[in-house]
Amino acid sequence: MIDTPASGNGMWGADLPLSAPRFESVPALRDALATVGYLADDGLAGVVYLADRLAKPVLVEGPAGTGKTELAKSIARLTGARLIRLQCYEGLDESKALYEWNYKKQLLRIQVEGTADAGERRAGWNELEEDIFSEEFLLTRPLLEAIRATDPVVLLVDEVDRLEIETEALLLEILSDYQVSIPELGTVKATQIPLVFLTSNNTRELSEALKRRCLFLHLDYPSVEREREIVLKKVPDITHELADQVARIVRSLRSLDLKKHPSISETLDWARTLVLLGIESVDERTATETLHLLLKYRSDIEVAAKELASTKSGAGLVGSGG
């Protein structure tokens, strides 16, 4: 598992240990995802499929609540892999993301040595140094853990855009070569290539170096048909008509100029509430009364309530120019 540093790396990752492909084909992957409760479109399934074949991480970007994290979880469920999650935040550093030396244990070890005779101590210094920088004193953090795992794992690096731009560099070695260099120890290489997902809410531009190493997947709000399917799948006891109506009202809301558009998870919350309330078809009154489940800003709710009850005149909606 551990070898000396500075072993050459093939430019396209040719010397990586190749694991057997996990997924057979794009449609097969999509169907498989549906069985674990994640409805993917072809694009999404295609990118995940490629990520497996090319042994590359996937950078998933999109508005909040479109199922970015859920994708990684579902893949883990589907492949029966362990999900290792690294939640990023400002100020995250090496010792929390990669590895840390267990310095308390090291101190103890040194002290034990210190109680021995002075002459012996000098002679044993080299030995001691080697000893305290061995795997026994290494605390693994999520990234290293994912690399060292011998069982199948899915690594999820959540909200990577919260990292400072300097800290991003931590990820680069892992993402391109699936290895971690520890100065005192050497390079730890992956025995098998984990599937890696990075999610971003796009609050800042990620560095070129990071983006270059990843496959890029933009998750947007789903189409009406897909959203309806998701509602049907995730909300038990909902009728087809109600799900259809929910999906289409949400689409109308997303076309408005709001501060925050309703996300998929909010759609689901709303649909569940409607079912609980025993509502079979949404009219203006129920829609207005339950809007606060979909929209989280007062001004948005007011705008939406006004808009839903009004009809636009047909003329002028379709511009003629291109």
Binding residues vs another protein (CB under 8 A): 12, 26-27, 42-43, 46-47, 49-50, 53-54, 56, 58-59, 61-62, 90, 164, 202-205, 208, 211-212, 214-218, 220, 224-225, 241, 244-245, 248-249, 251-252, 255, 257, 259, 281-284, 287, 299, 307-312, 314-318, 320-322
Non-local (6+) Cβ contacts of 192 within 8 A are 17, 19, 149, 150, 152
Chain center to CA of 174: 16
How far apart (Å, rounded) are the C-alpha atoms in residues 229 and 143?
35
Q: Which is nearer to another protein, 62 or 67 (CB)?
A: 62
- Strand 99-101 vs strand 138-140: parallel, antiparallel, or unpaired? antiparallel
Least CB distance from residue 173 to another protein, whole Å? 16
Considering beta carbons, is residue 136 or 302 the nearer one to another protein?
302
CB of 210: closest distance to another protein in angstroms?
A: 9
CB-nearer residue toward another protein: 47 or 144: 47
CB of 148 to another protein, least distance (A): 27
β-strand pairing of 179-182 with 186-189: antiparallel
Q: Compare residues 33 and 149 and give the one whose CB is closer to another protein.
A: 33
C-alpha to C-alpha distance for 306 and 302, rounded to whole angstroms: 6
Q: Among the residues of 134-239, which ranges form H helices?
A: 142-148, 169-177, 208-213, 224-234
- Residue 280 has phi, psi (to 5 degrees) of -100, -30
Give the three-class secondary structure for 156.
strand
CB of 41 to another protein, least distance (A): 9
Q: What's the closest the beta carbon of residue 72 comes to another protein, in angstroms? A: 16
138 and 99 Cβ atoms separated by less than 8 Å: yes
Q: Which is nearer to another protein, 134 or 255 (CB)?
A: 255
For the beta carbon of residue 279, count every other beta carbon within 10 angstroms.
Answer: 15
- Cβ proximity to another protein: between 20 and 318 the closer is 318
Q: CB-based burial of residue 305 (10 Å sphere; 0-12 exposed, 13-18 middle, 19+ buried)?
A: middle
To another protein, the closest distance from the beta carbon of 184 in angstroms equals: 20
Instruction: Report the residue number, 56 or 148, with the smaller CB distance to another protein.
Output: 56
**How far apart are CB 17 and another protein at their closest, in Å?**
18
Beta-sheet strands, E only, within the chain: 2-3, 58-61, 82-87, 99-101, 138-140, 153-158, 179-182, 186-189, 195-200, 215-218
Give the nearest distance from C-beta 304 to another protein in angstroms. 11
Q: Which is nearer to another protein, 7 or 25 (CB)?
A: 25
Residue reference for tokens 């939406």 = 304
